[in-house]
C-alpha cells in the first residue's frame, strides 16, 4: 500500500498545492485523485503566473478574453475560475461522499486587499457567488485586518480557507473569527454549517532560522509549531463553546498544514509530511513532494493531541536566541508582502502575454 493511501487511512486529507490547465487537460489531476489519494487542491498566484506567463496553454483563452476589454486582474479571475470549477467538479464525488468535509479547491482574493477589510469582504462574496461551486474555498489572509473579513464572510455563508497563519496564536485568532461568524448565523436563524480550514505555514519557520541555530535544532522549528497548533486545535474542538456550535449543526474548521515541502537539501524531502500526520487535518503539498512521499515516504505514527515534545523544542529555540512570537509576526508580514509581489508579477505576466498575443 502506498504511503499516500496509508496517510489517507490515518485520517489526514492530502491536497495538492498546484493547478494548471495542463493538469486538467492531460488527466494528471484525475490520476492523482485515483492513484495518490488526493482529495483537494489549493492554488496561489505564483502557480498561475508560471503557467500563464511562461507557457502557451492559456494563450487561446487569454486572446478570447482580451476582446472583452477586461482588466488584467479580471482576466486572471476568469482564467482561474475556469480551472477551479473544473477541478471542483473532479473533487465533487469526494465532497459528496464525505458530506462536505473534504473535496475542496481554493481561490485567493487579491492580496492587494490584505489590509482592506471591507474590500476583502466584498471580493470574497463576489468570487464565491461567481464560482458557483459548493466545494470552493475563498482564501483570506489571517492578518489583523483579515480577521473581521473572515467573520463577515462566514456569516454570509462563504466557505473560507484562512491563509498566512504561522502560530497557535494566529490559528486561535482565525478560529475565533470563524466561530463568531457562525454564532452570528445562529442568532440570525441561519444554518450553522459553513465549512472552513485554517492554514498554518510550516517550512518557512526553518528557512528563517537555518543560519541562526546549531545543527541539532535545524529543521525542527516548523514541526514544533505544527504540533503546538495541533494541540490548540484539539483543545478548541473539545471546548464547551465549540461543542454547543457543533450540537446545532456546525462542523469544525479543520487545521491545514501548508508550505510542507522541505526547503533544506540536507533534510529528507518528505520530512514535514511524515512528521505532521494527524487525524482530521489536511496537508497540502506540491506535486513533487506528493510523488516523493508516495514513492518512499513512511507513516511513523500520528501527532499526539498534547503536542508531544513541542514545548521542549520551542524552549530550546528560545534558549538559542529565537523569539518565536516575534518571528511569527515577521513571517506573516513577510508572507503578505510576498503574496503581493507574486500577484503583481502575475498581473505583469498577463499584461505582457496580452500584448504579445495582440
Could you read off the pLDDT of 127-179 as tens digits, one per residue? 999 999 999 999 999 999 999 999 999 999 999 999 999 999 999 999 999 99
Rounded to an integer, the average pLDDT of 225-254 is: 97
Confidence of residue 56 (pLDDT cuts 50, 70, 90): confident
Rounded to an integer, the average pLDDT of 341-345 is: 91
Residue 266 has pLDDT above 90, yes or no: no
Residue 285 has pLDDT above 80, yes or no: yes
- Predicted local confidence at residue 246, as pLDDT: 97
- Predicted local confidence at residue 46, as pLDDT: 81
Rounded to an integer, the average pLDDT of 287-294 is: 96
Residue 313 has pLDDT above 90, yes or no: yes
- Predicted local confidence at residue 88, as pLDDT: 98
Q: DSSP character for 358?
A: -
- Predicted local confidence at residue 327, as pLDDT: 98
Per the annotation, the verdict on 139 as an active-site residue is: yes
Nearest to 13 by CA among 252, 281, 200, 269: 281
To the question of domain 3-357 being in CATH 3.20.20.70, the answer is yes
The residues, any chain, with a CB within 8 Å of residue 92's CB and separated by 6 or more, are 103, 133, 135
- Predicted local confidence at residue 300, as pLDDT: 85
Residue-level length of the chain: 358
Q: What is the largest CA-CA distance in the chain?
A: 60
Integer-rounded Cα Rg, in Å, for the chain is 20
pTM score of the predicted model:
0.96
Residue found by looking up cell 537539501 in the block: 265
- Predicted local confidence at residue 353, as pLDDT: 84
Residue 358 has pLDDT above 80, yes or no: no
Nearest to 196 by CA among 144, 155, 225, 243: 155
Rounded to an integer, the average pLDDT of 273-291 is: 97
Mean pLDDT of the chain: 94
- Predicted local confidence at residue 146, as pLDDT: 92
User: Of the given ranges (229-233, 342-346, 354-358), which has the lowest mean pLDDT?
Assistant: 354-358
Q: DSSP character for 215?
A: G
Confidence of residue 218 (pLDDT cuts 50, 70, 90): very high
SS (H, E, C) 145-180: CHHHHHHHHHHCCCCEEEEEECCHHHHHHHHHHHHH
Give the C-alpha separation, 176 to 7, whole Å: 29
Work out whether strand 160-165 and strand 196-201 pair parallel, antiparallel, or are unpaired: parallel
Rounded to an integer, the average pLDDT of 258-273 is: 93
Q: Of these residues, 50, 139, 348, 355, which one is catalytic?
A: 139
- Quick one: cell of 137? 474555498
41 in helix, strand or coil?
Answer: strand
User: Of the given ranges (46-55, 83-92, 228-237), which has the lowest mean pLDDT?
Assistant: 46-55
Confidence of residue 248 (pLDDT cuts 50, 70, 90): very high
- Predicted local confidence at residue 117, as pLDDT: 87
Residue 65 has pLDDT above 90, yes or no: no
Residue 54 has pLDDT above 80, yes or no: no
- Predicted local confidence at residue 66, as pLDDT: 85
Amino acid at each position: 500500500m502506498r504511503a499516500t493511501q496509508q496517510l489517507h487511512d490515518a485520517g489526514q486529507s492530502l491536497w495538492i498545492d498546484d493547478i494548471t490547465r495542463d493538469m486538467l487537460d492531460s488527466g494528471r489531476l484525475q490520476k492523482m485523485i485515483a492513484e495518490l489519494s488526493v482529495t483537494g487542491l489549493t492554488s496561489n498566484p505564483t502557480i498561475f503566473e508560471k503557467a500563464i506567463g511562461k507557457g502557451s496553454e492559456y494563450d487561446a483563452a487569454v486572446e478570447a478574453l482580451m476582446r472583452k476589454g477586461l482588466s488584467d486582474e479580471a482576466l486572471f479571475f476568469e482564467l482561474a475560475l475556469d480551472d477551479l470549477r473544473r477541478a471542483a467538479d473532479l473533487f465533487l464525488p469526494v465532497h459528496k461522499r464525505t458530506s462536505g468535509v473534504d473535496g475542496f479547491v481554493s481561490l485567493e482574493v487579491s492580496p492587494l486587499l490584505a489590509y482592506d477589510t471591507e474590500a476583502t469582504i466584498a471580493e470574497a462574496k463576489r468570487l464565491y457567488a461567481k464560482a458557483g461551486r459548493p466545494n470552493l474555498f475563498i482564501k483570506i489572509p489571517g492578518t489583523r485586518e483579515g480577521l473581521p473579513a473572515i467573520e463577515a464572510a462566514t456569516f454570509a455563508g462563504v466557505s473560507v480557507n484562512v491563509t498566512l497563519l504561522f502560530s497557535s496564536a494566529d490559528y486561535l485568532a482565525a478560529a475565533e473569527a470563524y466561530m463568531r461568524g457562525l454564532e452570528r448565523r445562529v442568532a440570525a436563524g441561519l444554518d450553522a454549517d459553513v465549512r472552513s480550514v485554517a492554514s498554518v505555514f510550516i517550512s518557512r519557520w526553518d528557512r528563517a532560522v537555518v543560519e541562526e541555530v546549531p545543527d541539532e535544532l535545524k529543521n525542527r522549528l516548523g514541526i514544533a509549531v505544527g504540533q503546538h497548533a495541533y494541540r490548540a486545535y484539539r483543545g478548541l474542538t473539545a471546548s464547551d463553546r465549540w461543542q454547543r456550535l457543533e450540537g446545532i449543526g456546525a462542523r469544525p474548521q479543520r487545521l491545514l498544514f501548508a508550505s510542507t515541502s522541505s526547503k533544506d537539501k540536507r533534510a529528507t524531502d518528505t520530512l514535514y509530511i511524515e512528521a505532521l500526520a494527524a487525524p482530521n487535518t489536511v496537508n497540502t503539498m506540491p506535486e513533487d513532494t506528493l510523488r516523493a512521499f508516495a514513492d518512499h515516504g513512511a507513516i511513523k505514527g500520528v501527532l499526539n493531541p498534547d503536542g508531544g515534545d513541542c514545548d521542549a523544542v520551542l524552549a530550546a529555540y528560545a534558549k538559542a536566541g529565537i523569539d518565536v512570537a516575534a518571528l511569527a509576526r515577521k513571517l506573516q508580514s513577510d508572507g503578505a508582502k510576498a503574496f503581493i509581489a507574486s500577484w503583481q508579477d502575475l498581473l505583469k505576466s498577463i499584461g505582457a502575454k496580452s500584448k504579445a498575443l495582440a
